[in-house]
Amino acid sequence: MKVSIIVAVSKNNVIGTKAGDIPWELPKDLKHFRDTTHGFPCIIGRISLEAFGDLLPNRFNIIVSSKKEFINIREKIAINLPEYETGITEKGAQYVIVKSVKEAVDYAKDILKTDLVYICGGKGIYEDSQQYSHELIITDVDVHIEENDVVIYNPFPSNDERNKWKVVNQIHHPKDHQNNLDFSITYYVKNEEILIDYKVENQN
């Protein structure tokens, strides 16, 4: 099973605010997120789910949390989950609640038997899953966020980590009337010898 991280970051590695907002509006990048993840299981942290405001439709939502009830942060209303730990909502979004990223990845592999799972944030989920990940899809937003209460995820905290990844594709999106910032989407894959280690490790 391939594990793929999908994230948008500012120049100073901000992914959102502690209040749950994403400090830019790029409909084209949201479409990229929707189109890329459509139909695949998505692993999501509790605060990101509450910031999205609802489960992601047309995907199996694997929610990482110690809680069982969730609130739409903006509207301050409960996110309606009909069953306790796993189920399907009226809108047809499937979900399961698990306690760790490892449990989430195992669920995707062993229960859903998917070929591909997306890691959809936030910070702790990205950081804990990077060791299992085969692909990084990073939207680099051409903005520096100055706010204080921000959430930071640096995919490449060291040269060692950066050297594990090679760029396989990059698409630049200049700003336009609906997307007021330039951004680039870069696809990285983990270098092959590290992928082999990953598979061997998981066969034991």
Ligand X SMILES: NC(=O)c1ccc[n+]([C@@H]2O[C@H](COP(=O)([O-])OP(=O)(O)OC[C@H]3O[C@@H](n4cnc5c(N)ncnc54)[C@H](OP(=O)(O)O)[C@@H]3O)[C@@H](O)[C@H]2O)c1
| For ligand X, the closer CB: 149 or 193 | 149
120-159 mask for ligand X (x: CB under 6 A)? xxxxxx--x----------------------x--------
| For ligand X, the closer CB: 138 or 189 | 138
| For ligand X, the closer CB: 74 or 196 | 74
| For ligand X, the closer CB: 77 or 196 | 77
Number of residues engaging ligand X in binding (CB under 6 A): 27
Strand-strand pairing, 135-141 and 2-9: parallel
- Which of 3, 4, 5, 16 touches ligand X (CB under 6 A)? 16
Q: Rounded to whole angstroms, how far apart are CA atoms 82 and 62?
A: 15
Q: Rounded to whole angstroms, how far apart are CA atoms 142 and 11?
A: 6
- Which of 3, 15, 105, 119 touches ligand X (CB under 6 A)? 15
Instruction: Please identify, among the stretches 44-52, 74-82, 106-114, 160-168, the one whose residues bind ligand X according to the rule CB under 6 A.
Output: 44-52
| For ligand X, the closer CB: 153 or 165 | 153
Buried b / exposed e over 38-76, threshold 16 CB at 10 Å, is eebbbbbbbbbbbbbebbbeebbbbbbbeeeebebbeee
- Which of 1, 17, 134, 184 touches ligand X (CB under 6 A)? 17
Nearest distance from C-beta of residue 61 to ligand X, angstroms: 12
Q: Rounded to whole angstroms, how far apart are CA atoms 64 and 100?
A: 6
Total residue length of the chain: 204
Q: Rounded to whole angstroms, how far apart are CA atoms 24 and 57?
A: 22
What are the CB-based long-range contacts (under 8 Å, 24+) for 79-82?
Answer: 79/49, 79/50, 79/53, 79/54, 79/55, 81/55
Binders of ligand X among residues 70 to 99 (CB under 6 A) are none
Candidates 70, 72, 73, 55; CA nearest to 17 is 73
| For ligand X, the closer CB: 17 or 131 | 17
* Residue ranges in contact with ligand X by CB under 6 A: 7-8, 15-17, 20-22, 45-48, 51, 64-67, 100-101, 120-125, 128, 151
